[in-house]
Structure 1
Amino acid sequence: MDAITFLYMLLQSLIHYLQSVGDVWDEETLWRMEEHAKHLERKRIQLEREVEELDVRQSGEAWGDLLRFALQPWQVWAVAGLPVLLLGLYIFWMKRNDEAENSSEEYEEDQVLGNDLRWLLERIQWPVQDLQGGCEWAIRLMDNYTVYFGHVLSDSFYPVLQRAIGVGSAFEGWSPREQDVVYRVLIPMTPPRGHSFHLELDSAEHRHVRNFRVRVQLECTCSKEQQAEKMLCFLHHPEEELGENQDLSLLDTLCTNSYLDVHKTARWFYQLVRAVWPALPQSHSWHLTLLPSRRSCQIKVTNGEASFRIEVLFGVRRGYSDVFVSSQTREALTLSTTWPEAYNVAEVKFFKYIARQAPPDSLHLRCLQLFSRVQLGFGFSTYMVKTIVMHLLNTIPVSQWRRRYFLRRLGDINVNLRSCLEEKCLNHFIIGNRNLPQEISLPLDISSAEPPNLFHHLAQDPASHSQAMSEYQDLQHRLARLLLNGH
């Protein structure tokens, strides 16, 4: 048998073998591979013997031709490379086998996880209303209001109302409520003609809160351009002339001791909302109800089939950043001239950034929704839970918030809550965080500040800390019942 015949048989054998193996290799396949290797080794030995016999029988010329033929480089390397080929096939088989086992384990894990989580995810009651649709409806209503506000206030000296910005949980893509979702919006205000706003940080003793006052200052309007608008300068015209020919300044309407008053601003805005409502297209098929509030404007709009509850906050932007001083209530006793610093616009932008990066099956909002609902009734605010989740979203890759990691991420939230309680420390997410997405703009004093501790009260009051740890244990029992019993 010559070398060509042997090489042909070798290739045919390998081809036949690979066809018989297919895509799934097991221990029997490995045994067959070894048998083929032994068979090929026997063929190699047989070839060597035949060459030796030819060396004895044939003449020098014939032997020289056969030797030159038998030792063609590609044939020598083909035979010599056989062990390497077999080793490669073996390594390939082991890798495929491992991948098949891992794939099988992942499939089984997905099956088990799917069975275990189906009932759990079904019990995470998502708001009855479509959040995205509700957010769009609320913004559309506020946009219509803004157009009419511009017409009504064009010649006045009240704050200039800008387009509303959606803030809060609904605009972040989740809600702690199953029904009666609150759509919260923030309306930025800029000073009217002849006025300027100056933000003054309240030098309070509490480092964990940052409160401001908005000082309103009159500006000279004696320039030719402003005189062409037939506006009298509040600084350089006699009060009698101003009173007869021009509306009152902002200092005389919505301020207390030269500072913008939240309560007065809210009452003024209520009057605007009521007065403008009949002109809006929504008024033809919807009914407007004004709800009581001192530091915001809360309205409810219904049409018999649907209902939307909207809370309007007012704010003054800090420079060109995503941080405002706002009318929102932070503490029980907040003075009417106090405007707490608000980070809800930056937080909404963070959740939108995560939504763009996350895979379609990400359950980070479901995790937040479930844990927020489980802890209702305990001393942990929804904002504290959201802060923990935001910290985790900023450190754990978004790819690991998919369905298969749901229970792990719930465990992370739980572990972080316990750790923060034990250490009596939960750092604010926005203040002092230098790892935020670049699209979130912060004032320099915010990005470089020491993050305030949201659990400062636990560090100051041992009794509060003991109560918090006790409530955490109760929370664990409730969470365990949910996970084990499905209710």
Structure 2
Amino acid sequence: MALGLFRVCLVVVTAIINHPLLFPRENATVPENEEEIIRKMQEHQEKLQLEQLRLEEEVARLATEKEALERVAEEGQQQNENRAAWDLWSTLCMILFLVIEVWRQDHQDGPSPECPGGDEDELPGLEGAPLRGLTLPNKATLSHFYERCIRGATADAARTREFVEGFVDDLLEALRSLCNRDTDMEVEDFIGVDSMYENWQVDKPLMCDLFVPFTPPEPYHFHPELWCSGRSVPLDRQGYGQIKVVGAEDDTPGCICGKTKLGEDMLCLLHGKNGLGRPGSEAGVSLCARDSQYLDTMQVMKWFQTALTRAWHRIAHKYEFDLAFGQLDTPGSLRIRFRSGKFMPFNLIPVIQCDDSDLYLVSHLPRGPSGGGPAASTDWLLSFAVYERHFLRTTSKALPEGACHLSCLQIASFLLSKQSRLTGPSALSNYHLKTALLHLLLARRPADWKAGHLDARLHELLCFLEKSLLEKKLHHFFLGNRKVPEAVGLPEAVRRAEPLNLFRPFVLQRGLYRKTVDSFYEMLRNAPALISEYSLHVPSDHTSLPPKAAVS
């Protein structure tokens, strides 16, 4: 028993001592597959090292991109701060500019006869000598030029007016005889306006502009709604108005055709035949805009042209000349053509009187303030032509005998006309010249317009135009001008209106402004040579009135 236990213990001790993990032997033999395992472990270790390098490169790249993004964000934030500061300064500068402009309009609205020096920053790239450097011919040359070239060329103006007025009287009388007093418009006597009736016409051939007022049949009337210049009026509608057809009793829009039985052959000029549009009936001419109670300018012109054509056919056998419409873009333009080949143009313009004043609403103007047209066909242009004629006549009575105010206007208009033929028409018109003269007449003493001051006043007129062009501001003479004497009789709404800038289109159209200023300075440069040349030789390129028009 004891021997057996001893043997078992001996075996256990021997096994423990010979276990390779507890007591390894130095000369132990390595299994055959251990080298393969070591090789694979080395390859795995190399892969791990390569992966570690790749991860380190990726971390470095991400860190670089993060720094770049942070740098871009900082720059963007700095730019936003700079932009905000710039916007703040721009807003402050704009507010300051508006304040200065309002102050100038409030305190410097009167005309300034002084010549401007010219601002190079205001007209970048424009070439032209300042007006102060202009040397006009002396008084003797100017007087000789006026007597020979202008006064002599307009000597037959009185005969032209007399001939045209006699013919238009006959034409309008024929028109009235064709109209029905109960349903048709009533055409009144014509009114002569513009340069031919203000005695400063220089363009050839001589042109008569005649207003023809018309009114609706009783008991209805026209109700003008004026849009004088003001803050509540859109810029494109300043100086315009609308005309509503209003009943006499209830002051509501309407037409007589709805309350009166018309004959089968009678036409309502407002709403067509009988106002009912019966099937198979011939439609009349509608003067109101579609679905509106306001008169349409184009429809009125079509009606007026049709009426004139019928009137001419009635009296054509009495005359030995032809009558036709002139310019297509001027609906009221007419032209008398004689058998000799000579012609005589004139303008008949349908207008509507504003209440009992001399203010008229005009459908179209053949010549007048430049700028954009009306915003809608129901917009009628306010015309102060009758007031302008009365003001010039009244002022002339207070001036010295032989005053030079109309001579200045004629010479300036002559130069502008020749320049327009040379380089084409610009936005500067005769109406602007007349407006400038009216401002100067109000600012100057009567004694300053003596005949001997022609050169000084002409220089001053051109100087005033240059100043207005440089400032892009030429105020309408009557609208909002509180310096106009009350004796002129302007309506109070016109006197209280905000001033209307006739040069406002120059602010919006830089190309038109550049062309106009270039043409103006070229006209100034050509003026001395042109006046001297025409003083010596007057070209025979004008068409005169025939000795006597034959009337059968």
Q: TM-score range by the shorter chain?
A: 0.5 to 0.7
The match for 1:301 is 336
Amino acid corresponding to residue 166 of structure 2 in structure 1: R
Structure holding more helix per residue: 1
The range that moved more, 316-325 or 200-209, is 200-209
Identity of aligned residues (%): 22
User: Of residues 380, 401, 410 in structure 2, which corresponds to 1:339?
Assistant: 380
The amino acid of 2:349's aligned partner reads L
Structure 1: gaps (5+ residues): 1-111, 222-231
The one-character-per-residue Cα deviations of 1:198-246 (angstroms, maximum 9, x if unpaired) are 223467521673222222245569xxxxxxxxxx964456xxx657586
TM-score (norm 2): 0.58
Give the drift of 1:439: 5.1
CA distance in 2, matches of 1:129, 1:213: 40
Aligned to 1:132: 158
Name structure 2 gaps, 5 residues minimum.
1-137, 273-285, 421-425, 536-552
User: Which of residues 181, 184, 190 is equivalent to 1:158?
Assistant: 184
- Match of 1:260, SS? coil
**Structure 1 residues 246 and 137, CA gap change in structure 2 (3 angstroms):** closer
- What is the CA-CA distance between 1:174 and the residue it aligns to? 1.8
Structure 2 residue aligned with 1:319, among 355, 378, 395?
A: 355
Q: What is the aligned counterpart of 1:259 among 294, 307, 312?
A: 294
- Pairwise CA distance, 1:294: 6.0
Structure 2 matches for 1:64-463, cutoff 5 A? 113-114=139-140, 117-119=143-145, 121-124=147-150, 127=153, 130-177=156-203, 179-201=204-226, 205-206=234-235, 209-218=238-247, 234-236=257-259, 244=264, 247-248=267-268, 250-252=270-272, 253-257=286-290, 258-277=293-312, 279-280=314-315, 283-293=318-328, 296-304=331-339, 307-329=343-365, 333-334=373-374, 335-375=376-416, 376-377=419-420, 378-436=426-484, 438=486, 440-460=488-508
DSSP-derived class of the 1:322 partner: coil
Q: Which protein, 1 or 2, shows the higher relative CO under an 8 Å CA cutoff with sep ≥ 6?
A: 2
Seen in structure 2, the aligned counterparts of structure 1 residues 244 and 144 have a Cα distance that, compared at 3 Å, is closer
Letter in structure 2 aligned against 1:397: R
1:245/1:218 Cα in 2 relative to 1: closer, same or farther (>3 Å)?
A: farther
Q: Work out the CA distance in 1 between the residues paired with 2:198 and 2:328.
A: 24
Alpha-carbon distance in 2 for matches of 1:273, 1:207: 32
Deviations 1:27-79 (A, max 9, x none): xxxxxxxxxxxxxxxxxxxxxxxxxxxxxxxxxxxxxxxxxxxxxxxxxxxxx
Q: What secondary structure is seen at the aligned counterpart in 1 of 2:271?
A: helix
1:351 maps to a residue whose letter is L
RMSD over aligned Cα atoms? 3.3
Q: Secondary structure at the match of 1:254?
A: coil
Q: Is the 8 A contact 1:427 1:454 kept in 2?
A: yes
Cα shift readout 1:428-449 (whole Å, capped 9, x = no counterpart): 1121223435553322111121
1:244-263 CA distances to partner (integer Å, 9 max, x unpaired)?
58643523332223322222
Separation in structure 2 between the aligned mates of residue 380 and residue 218 of structure 1, nearest angstrom = 42
2: CA distance, partners of 1:200 / 1:396: 35
Cα deviation digits, residues 261-305 of structure 1 (max 9, x gap):
222222222232232235559933443223354663222224446
Maintained 8 Å contact 2:145/2:532: no
Q: Is the 8 A contact 1:142 1:163 kept in 2?
A: no
Paired residues of 2:371 and 2:505 also in contact (CA < 8 A): no
In structure 2, the residue corresponding to 1:199 is in which secondary structure?
Answer: strand
Per mean C-alpha deviation after superposition, the further-off stretch among 210-219 and 477-486 is 477-486
Instruction: Give how far 1:159 is off.
Output: 1.9
What is the Cα deviation at residue 427 of structure 1? 1.1
CA contact (8 A) 1:350 1:437 kept: no
Check conservation: 1:262, 1:295, Cα contact below 8 A.
no
For the 8 Å contact 2:427–2:512, the answer to whether it is kept is no
Distance 2:359 2:385 in 1: 8
Residues 161-200 of structure 1, C-alpha deviation per residue, up to 9 Å, x if partnerless? 11100112111112241x2222110111112124321223
Distance 1:440 1:199 in 2: 21
- Superposed displacement of residue 127, structure 1: 4.0
TM-score by length of 1: 0.65
State how far apart, in whole Å, the 1-side matches of 2:320 and 2:513 are.
52
Residues 423/394 of structure 1: CA separation in 2 closer, same or farther (3 Å cut): same
Q: Is the 8 A contact 2:269 2:287 kept in 1?
A: no
Once the two structures are overlaid, the 10-residue window that deviates more, 145-154 or 345-354, is: 145-154
Assess, with a 3 A threshold, how the Cα gap between structure 1 residues 263 and 461 changes in structure 2: closer, same or farther.
closer
Distance in structure 1 (CA, Å) of the matches to 2:193 and 2:444: 24
